[in-house]
Amino acid sequence: MGVVIEPAVWEPNPAAFVFLFVACCCSAFFLPYSSRNASAPSSALDGAPSSVPFRRFQRGFLLVYTLASVVEGLSSVYGEYEFGMLGLSKEQMVSSLCVGILASLVVGTSFSVLSDALGQKKFCMVFFFLHLFVGVLRKVSKHRSLWLASMCLSLASSIFTFSFEAWMVLEHEKQGHREELMNDTFWMMTFFGSACFIGTQLLANWLIGADVKENLSSPSIAALWLAVLGLACVARGWKRSSQTVGFHNYDKSYVHLFKDKRVVLLTFAQASIQFSGAVFGILWSPTLVADGRELNLGLIYPCLMVARMLGSTILPWVTSASMSIRTDDCLVYAFVISGFVFSVVAYDYQEVGFLLTLFCMYNACVGTIMPSLARLRTMYIPNHLRAGMIGFSLSLSNAAFLFFMVQRGYYQSIGNSTMMAFAAVGLFAAAGCMHVLKRLGKQPYQNGHKS
């Protein structure tokens, strides 16, 4: 008599998720106490009366940013699964993705420069309007305009990357808050953004329920109404200090800025982490199921996001006065670890538990890298050119990603491991850039002016 072994669905140990979540909460909860004891000048978490206007400003921005993160997450929560439910072939999926990347590469880069000239608030409203338009399109169109929706969502993602951060930095400066207080907002943006991506997964699953085919558009409808709310919040936000700079000498400003080696190094490092994030976004689940194993991806994704949240809370600890680790040193270590993760995965397929550990390490590093790069942008890049510089780094990563998607999706000339290997090379190169940046010395700009 033969014994039939039923294939088990692999799930992460619940203790791992609990450990990450508790560690993340403890890190954020005890940070104010640590900051007071270390007398760190960058602490904005104490109750000093002088920090009250800043705290009000910070909470208002984080509320809008959290809402934008929820809208961004709801619009892309199912990804390829949604395409499959619509009956699209693999070639159609690749075409849609490539069209979106191309739109972000061309139009998104132009938007980043225009936003510096016309004002970040206007483009934050454009972000919500694009999601509103896609929600309406998916509701009224029986045969969805896939390419148009893909272009709009890619453009919205580009605006999400540069406009909200640039808007916050400019308003922070205009309202006269101390520059070092901005560091807290940077890591909180990564923290709340990652938490929102977990929340959107839960919300989307609740909205769809048991009837997936019938309710597949429910997350898009929810994103539509939240986009309307976001438009109202942005329209009412910070009216007294709106930006009307214009186009005067903006081309000369960017050309002059790119002559600085520090800016070039910082731009390449930003492009490297964005490219690796794009590669990770499309390959993490295929990599985990490459051996045919069934996995509960719905439980794995929250682990990755909680690891990113933990990485963001670690940053203020390691750069506090008590530890005195420079931001560029922290970036070197984080980029090296991230490159190591991609190198191991590209070299050979590992056991699922080990792969999940590596992916959590990478996301923790991303949680540290993103706010750290935002800190360095404040040091090296004038605030009124900030969005354009982020847009230029995004164009580099989009160009590289588009090239690999065409080679992988259409010509089948490279494999997943090759894309991982190139991402690892970029991350190691970014670590070298941060090391060179440290050796070049003090920053040439402060608050958008030469020091």
In this predicted model, what pLDDT tens digit does every residue of 247-262 receive, in sequence order? 555 655 667 777 788 8
Do 390 and 302 share a structural domain? yes
pLDDT category of residue 40 using cuts at 50, 70 and 90: very low
Nearest to 182 by CA among 317, 65, 316, 325: 316
16 is a domain residue: no
Number of domains observed in the structure of the chain? 2
Instruction: Determine the angle formed by the axes of helices 90-103 and 146-174, rounding to 10 degrees.
Output: 30
The stretches of 76-216 forming alpha helices (DSSP H) are 80-85, 90-103, 109-118, 120-140, 146-174, 182-208
Helix (H, G, I), strand (E, B) or coil at 348: coil
Mean pLDDT, residues 132-138 taken together: 86
326, 41 contact by CB (below 8 A): no
Quote the pLDDT of residue 67: 94
194 is a domain residue: yes
Do 220 and 266 share a structural domain? no
Do 271 and 136 share a structural domain? no
280 is a domain residue: yes
Please check the confidence at residue 55 and state whether its pLDDT lies above 80. Answer: yes
Mean pLDDT, residues 343-369 taken together: 88
Beta bridge partners of 449: 446
Do 153 and 286 share a structural domain? no
Please check the confidence at residue 12 and state whether its pLDDT lies above 90. Answer: no
Amino acid letter, 207: L
Q: What is the CATH number of the domain that holds 130?
A: 1.20.1250.20
197 is a domain residue: yes
Quote the pLDDT of residue 284: 86
The residue out of 182, 213, 242 marking a domain boundary is 242
The residue out of 242, 275, 300 marking a domain boundary is 242
Do 225 and 261 share a structural domain? no
The residue out of 223, 242, 261 marking a domain boundary is 242
The span from the CA of 266 to the CA of 257, in Å, is 12
Do 266 and 212 share a structural domain? no
Of 30-34, 49-53, 369-373, 431-435, the range with the lowest mean pLDDT is 30-34
Do 430 and 347 share a structural domain? yes
The span from the CA of 119 to the CA of 40, in Å, is 33
pLDDT category of residue 300 using cuts at 50, 70 and 90: confident
pLDDT category of residue 61 using cuts at 50, 70 and 90: very high
21 is a domain residue: no
Phi–psi pair at 130, nearest 5 degrees: -65, -40
Q: What percent of the chain has pLDDT over 70?
A: 78
Beta bridge partners of 446: 449
- Most confident range, picked from 6-20, 97-111, 238-252, 330-344: 330-344
Do 161 and 143 share a structural domain? yes
- Most confident range, picked from 91-95, 216-220, 237-241, 338-342: 338-342
Neighbours of 137 (CB within 10 A): 17
Quote the pLDDT of residue 246: 52
382 is a domain residue: yes
184, 40 contact by CB (below 8 A): no
22 is a domain residue: no
Do 230 and 194 share a structural domain? yes
Which distant-in-sequence residues (6+ apart) come within 8 Å of 182 by Cβ? 168, 169, 172, 378
37 is a domain residue: no
Neighbours of 214 (CB within 10 A): 10
Pick the residue with more confidence: 445 or 181? Answer: 181
Tokens for 151? 């272009």
Helix (H, G, I), strand (E, B) or coil at 105: helix
Do 303 and 274 share a structural domain? yes
Tokens for 389? 């510089």
Query: Does pTM top 0.75 for this prediction?
Result: yes
Instruction: Determine the angle formed by the axes of helices 146-174 and 120-140, rounding to 10 degrees.
Output: 160
The span from the CA of 83 to the CA of 88, in Å, is 6
pLDDT category of residue 448 using cuts at 50, 70 and 90: very low
Do 400 and 257 share a structural domain? yes
Instruction: Determine the angle formed by the axes of helices 250-258 and 261-288, rounding to 10 degrees.
Output: 80
Do 142 and 115 share a structural domain? yes
Domain enclosing residue 222, as ranges: 55-242
Which distant-in-sequence residues (6+ apart) come within 8 Å of 32 by Cβ? 43, 45, 46
